[in-house]
């Protein structure tokens, strides 16, 4: 059931709100003329009315329990989270993407970005001028961190109080549509990060309307969403309709579902399965495949298995194991959950099996963790070397650029883009951005601001982080996190950008790299020397890669069984390396010496007879 304000044209608007415990709810029109419109309740607890004399831009509250409160499904909050909701006419946009069919999931190169810090202006429309440069670089899908209305004008987006409302400081609904339309013209798919596991702590009046929460489970943010308790139908509808809302009204190509491990549902049909079914039906009716990508800490293959096999039917999920083991190999950090990772053997396993922990004992968790995903195709997993969480949840917001050498940055690029998975870059990664990405908020409740400060301090203490605490409420904290885009054309930044670009080009043109399947993949390691050997094949084409995570050069004799031609060496002077010592042709069991923290890629010429 559609909820919120649904503008029908000619001054007619349908208002629908779920408030099952109430006997009376009315629409309080605030502007342009103050008036009260009564609503009628149906048997499912929805209050509805069809109001006349309502034009786009009309401001309104719901009169509920004697108070004026914003619409839980507000499409726009132009005066912040405590102000009135606004009627939006979604038919006004002149879309130009009628022939757009989207980028297939298996071909995606994802670029995660935060609207507020991606440009100095921090708006949707300011992003448009950078889309072509992203596409020419090699990206074909941008993933936008959450845009649901949050308090103030500075936030990562995970404190959204209105799941349907587009953040006013970014430009609002029409500007977001212009961005998506422009991205499609440039050949870019657009993924929206959505939060269905909690509401932000300020401005969320949901409990006044109905039982959106349950005490049956707890999340890191408090009570869990009510997806399987009494009156859960209205909550499920709220979020499933929201997924369809973004696809229908904003033409998004995919949704990234935040932290689905905090979405609890013990019912016979998990809410994620129901959502996947509804999105698939909508995809088929529109003739364009739309995707749901889950961020999950569970290492649970059921997230992506088909419903016929007992799964939720998500199209893809993240593999945090890939990031964690690569991060430890590059940085040596072993604090917190990183203590469960760090061997080259583990990286070889994640290349082959997608998860390291597939019902293995995880020391940090102090329990067995994960399930076997080795039979699932590579395009069902999104991997990265850094993302907003892994950077921004550090005390100083350090990127890999701050933590490792330039050679190690190049090695990270190779490890990511030569994998059989969907790669995701975090904005600025491709040129070694040296601005931090810090945690920032702009709550209007000062007690809440102080609570956030103290909470962050405790979190860093638990992680034994060192350094001077940076205030998340400070405007300077936000400003520091803005990209220095001009560095893309300077020195080492330019060279790193060109290496990423070259790797993406190889990924698209070399058959063995283009096909994201694991049947013809071999990965092995030599732990003492910190070497990884990766071999991938498809349609007669094969590649062989050596990755050296050692800070010293290593001599080895790989068993390749053929004649191989070198096509990329990160230690070449072209990539500001020390100069390659590896042969142009690798012949059978030939002894080679590989430079510290580097990788080399060979392509098969002939197999051994």
Based on the residue annotation, tell me whether 186 is a catalytic residue of this protein.
Answer: no
Secondary structure element (H or E) that encloses residue 416, with its range: helix 406-417
User: Buried b vs exposed e over 299-319: b needs ≥16 C-beta within 10 Å?
Assistant: bbbbbbbeeeeebbbbbbbbb
The pairing of beta strand 316-318 with beta strand 213-219? unpaired
Please list the residue range(s) of the chain that carry CATH number 2.60.40.1180: 521-607
* Distance linking the first and last C-alpha atoms of the chain: 66
Torsion of CA 32, 34, 40, 46, to 10 degrees: 60
Catalytic residue among 202, 228, 229, 295, which? Answer: 295
The pairing of beta strand 59-64 with beta strand 67-69? antiparallel
Q: Which of 391, 452, 389 is nearest to 221 (CA)?
A: 452
Count other C-beta atoms under 10 Å from residue 133's C-beta.
12
User: Buried b vs exposed e over 64-100: b needs ≥16 C-beta within 10 Å?
Assistant: beeeebbbbbbbbbbebbebbbbbbbbeebeeeeeeb
239: tokens are 């979020």
Identify the pLDDT of residue 588.
Answer: 81
In sequence order, what are the residues at sequence separation of 6 or more whose Cβ sits closer than 8 angstroms to the Cβ of residue 250?
173, 176, 177, 180, 192
Q: What is the CATH number of domain 521-607?
A: 2.60.40.1180
Q: What is the CATH number of domain 4-86?
A: 2.60.40.10
Identify the pLDDT of residue 133.
Answer: 98
Which parts are annotated binding residues?
Answer: 256-261, 320-324, 388-393
Beta bridge partners of 12: 9, 52
Catalytic residue among 71, 112, 258, 572, which? Answer: 258
Q: Which of 537, 556, 562 is nearest to 600 (CA)?
A: 556
Which parts are annotated binding residues for substrate?
Answer: 256-261, 320-324, 388-393
Instruction: Quickly tell me which residue has 């007669």 as its tokens.
Output: 540
Three-state SS across 206-246?
HHHHCCCEEEEEEECCEEEECCCCCCHHHHHHHHHHHHHHH
Cβ-contact 421, 322 below 8 angstroms: yes
Question: In terms of pTM, does the model score above 0.95?
Answer: yes
496: tokens are 């790193």
CA distances in angstroms from 193 to 373, 499, 505, listed in the order given: 24, 28, 27
Strand stretches in 505-573, DSSP E? 521-526, 531-538, 541-548, 554-556, 562-569
Q: What is the DSSP string of 576-605?
A: T-S---S-SEEESS--EEE-TTEEEEEEEE
Instruction: Quickly tell me which residue has 């990664």 as its tokens.
Output: 429
Cβ-contact 605, 563 below 8 angstroms: yes
pLDDT digits (tens, 9 = 90+) for 306-355: 999 999 999 999 999 999 999 999 999 999 999 999 999 999 999 999 99
Which fold would CATH assign to domain 105-506?
A: TIM Barrel (3.20.20)
The pairing of beta strand 521-526 with beta strand 592-594? unpaired
The three-point CA angle 82-87-93 to 5° equals: 125
Q: What are phi and psi of 505, to 5 degrees?
A: -65, -45
Identify the pLDDT of residue 458.
Answer: 80
Identify the pLDDT of residue 606.
Answer: 85
Identify the pLDDT of residue 460.
Answer: 74
Residue 376: half-sphere exposure toward Cβ, Cα within 13 Å: 31
In sequence order, what are the residues at sequence separation of 6 or more whose Cβ sits closer than 8 angstroms to the Cβ of residue 111?
134, 139, 141, 142, 143, 424, 425, 427
Residue 446 CA to residue 473 CA, distance in Å, equals: 10
Does the CA dihedral 171-172-174-180 come out positive or negative?
positive
pLDDT digits (tens, 9 = 90+) for 559-596: 888 899 999 999 999 999 999 999 999 998 889 999 99
Based on the residue annotation, tell me whether 609 is a catalytic residue of this protein.
Answer: no
Residue 66 CA to residue 36 CA, distance in Å, equals: 13
Identify the pLDDT of residue 462.
Answer: 55
Instruction: Give the residues of the chain that fall short of pLDDT 70.
Output: 461-466, 608-609
Residue 130 CA to residue 537 CA, distance in Å, equals: 35
Residue 301 CA to residue 299 CA, distance in Å, equals: 6
Beta bridge partners of 254: 191, 291
Please list the residue range(s) of the chain that carry CATH number 2.60.40.10: 4-86
Residue 561 CA to residue 511 CA, distance in Å, equals: 20
In sequence order, what are the residues at sequence separation of 6 or more whose Cβ sits closer than 8 angstroms to the Cβ of residue 93?
174, 177, 178, 181
Identify the pLDDT of residue 457.
Answer: 82
């Amino acid at each position: 059931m559609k909820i919120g304000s649904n503008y029908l044209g000619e001054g007619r608007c349908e208002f629908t709100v779920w408030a099952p415990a109430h006997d009376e709810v009315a629409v309080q029109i605030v502007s342009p003329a103050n008036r009260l419109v009564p609503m009628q309740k149906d048997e499912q607890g929805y209050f509805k009315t069809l109001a006349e004399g309502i034009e786009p831009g009309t401001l309104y509250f719901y009169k509920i329990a004697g108070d004026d409160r914003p619409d839980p499904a507000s499409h726009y909050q132009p005066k912040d989270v405590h102000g009135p909701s606004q009627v939006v006419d979604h038919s006004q946009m002149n879309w130009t993407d009628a022939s757009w069919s989207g980028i297939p999931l298996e071909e995606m190169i994802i670029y995660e970005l935060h609207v507020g810090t991606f440009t100095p202006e921090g708006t949707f429309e300011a992003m448009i001028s950078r889309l072509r440069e992203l596409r020419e670089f090699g990206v074909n899908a941008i993933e936008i961190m959450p845009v649901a209305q949050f308090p103030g004008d500075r936030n990562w987006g995970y404190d959204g109080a209105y799941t349907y409302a587009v953040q006013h400081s970014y430009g609002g609904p029409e500007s977001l549509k212009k961005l998506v339309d422009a991205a499609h013209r440039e050949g870019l798919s657009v993924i929206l990060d959505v939060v269905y596991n909690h509401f932000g702590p300020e401005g969320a009046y949901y409990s006044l309307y109905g039982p959106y929460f349950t005490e049956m489970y707890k999340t890191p943010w408090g009570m869990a969403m009510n997806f399987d308790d009494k009156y859960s139908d209205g909550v499920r509808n709220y979020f499933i309709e929201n997924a369809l809302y973004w696809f229908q009204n904003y033409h998004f190509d995919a949704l990234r579902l935040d932290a689905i491990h905090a979405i609890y549902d013990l019912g016979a049909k998990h809410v994620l399965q129901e959502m996947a079914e509804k999105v698939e039906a909508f995809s088929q009716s529109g003739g364009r495949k739309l995707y749901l990508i889950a961020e999950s800490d569970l290492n649970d293959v059921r997230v992506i298995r088909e419903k016929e096999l007992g799964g939720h039917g998500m199209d893809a999920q993240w593999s945090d194991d890939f990031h964690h083991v690569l991060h430890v190999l590059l940085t040596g950090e072993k604090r917190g959950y990183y203590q469960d990772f760090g061997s080259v053997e583990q990286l070889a396993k994640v290349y082959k099996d997608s998860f390291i922990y597939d019902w293995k004992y995880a020391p940090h968790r102090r329990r067995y963790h994960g399930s076997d995903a080795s039979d699932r195709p590579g395009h069902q997993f999104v991997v990265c070397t850094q993302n907003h969480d892994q950077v921004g949840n550090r005390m100083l917001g350090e990127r890999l650029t701050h933590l490792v050498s330039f050679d190690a940055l190049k090695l990270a690029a190779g490890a990511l883009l030569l994998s059989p998975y969907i790669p995701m870059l975090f904005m600025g990664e491709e040129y070694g951005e040296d601005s931090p990405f810090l945690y920032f908020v702009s709550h209007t409740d000062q007690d809440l601001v102080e609570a956030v400060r103290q909470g962050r301090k405790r979190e860093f203490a638990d992680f034994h982080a060192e350094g001077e605490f940076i205030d998340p409420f400070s405007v300077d904290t936000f400003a520091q996190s803005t990209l220095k885009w001009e560095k893309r054309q300077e020195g080492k930044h330019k060279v790193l950008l060109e290496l990423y670009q070259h790797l993406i080009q190889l990924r698209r043109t070399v058959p063995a790299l283009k096909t994201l399947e694991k049947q013809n993949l071999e990965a092995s390691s030599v732990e003492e020397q910190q070497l990884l050997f990766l071999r991938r094949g498809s349609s007669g084409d094969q590649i062989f890669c050596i990755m050296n995570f050692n800070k010293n050069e290593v001599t080895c004799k790989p068993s390749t069984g053929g004649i191989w031609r070198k096509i990329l060496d990160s230690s070449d002077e072209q990539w500001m390396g020390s100069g390659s010592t590896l042969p142009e042709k690798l012949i059978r069991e030939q002894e080679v010496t590989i430079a510290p923290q580097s990788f080399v890629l060979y392509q098969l010429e002939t197999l051994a007879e």
